[in-house]
Amino acid sequence: MKKLFVLAAVLMFSCAALCAQDYQMMPNQGKNMIYKVVSSAMGNEIVMYVTQKVQEADASSVTLAMTASSTEGGQGQTSSIKYNIEGDNYVISLQDALAENLAQLGGNFEIIESSGMLGYPIALTPETEMEGAKMKIKVSMQGMGLVMDLAIQDRKAAGEESITTPAGTFECLKFTENQTVTVMGQQQVTNITYWYGKGVGLVKQSTEAMGGMVSAELVLQKIE
């Protein structure tokens, strides 16, 4: 149950942009973005390091690669997600976004139904609003079968802010969304806030759930 909840909370590292003067959601090609992630659940704190980079990019798609490790620069778990280019947006189905992550959890899963595509503008603006998506998933993990309903909604820009991190100070666009997970009739809402920098990509991410009992903060440490 905890793994499923964390999955829903950290989903959505998103897409790409190429214009250095615009707010964008993915690192520029050739750059490694190194983040420190501090998560807390029921008083227990875990520190991880995440590296993101553009693995492949062409006129039709962009693939984002991620590595997570308990130590900075360590050889940890890797994954990748491919986004298709449609007009001025990068688009991925919620099903594709979840499949890679669920497979890494080591359980058997079946996607029962899904609706909606997750779209991301190439360049974000203070007026940006994005459509949500919903999915019903049947997951078998550690001998227990669960049906989980996931809804991602209220995805919109929420103002501009200057954010200072160990990597420097960045002018950012604040972006918020809600992820609602329903399991066995119990509903949990995760509130996520992202800060995307001009010509940089993701600078900071804050996640809070269960009335603050579960939280995580991702902060950019360096760009290589």
Which token pair is 66? 């991620």
Task: Give 212 or 174, the one with higher predicted confidence.
Answer: 174
Separation between Cα atoms, residue 148 and residue 65, nearest integer Å:
26
The residue to which tokens 């996607």 are assigned: 111
pLDDT at 11 over 60: no
CA distances (Å), origin 152, targets 74, 76, 90, 136, 155: 32, 28, 17, 12, 8
DSSP string, 100-148: HHHHHTT-EEEEEEEE-EEEEESSB-TT-EE--EEEEEEEEETTEEEEE
pTM of the model: 0.82
Q: What's the whole-number mean pLDDT along residues 106-129?
A: 80
Quick one: pLDDT at residue 194? 95
Confidence of residue 32 (pLDDT cuts 50, 70, 90): very high
Q: What's the whole-number mean pLDDT along residues 90-115?
A: 69
Read off the DSSP letter of residue 171.
E
Task: Specify the range with the lowest mean pLDDT, choosing from 16-25, 45-54, 171-180, 206-215.
Answer: 16-25
Q: What's the whole-number mean pLDDT along residues 130-158?
A: 84
- The answer to whether 35 touches 219, Cβ cutoff 8 Å, is yes
Side chain identity, residue 19: C
Cα angle value 124/194/220 (rounded, 5°): 105
The gap between the terminal CA atoms of the chain, to the nearest Å, is: 36
Domains in the chain (CATH in brackets) are 2-223 (2.40.360.20)
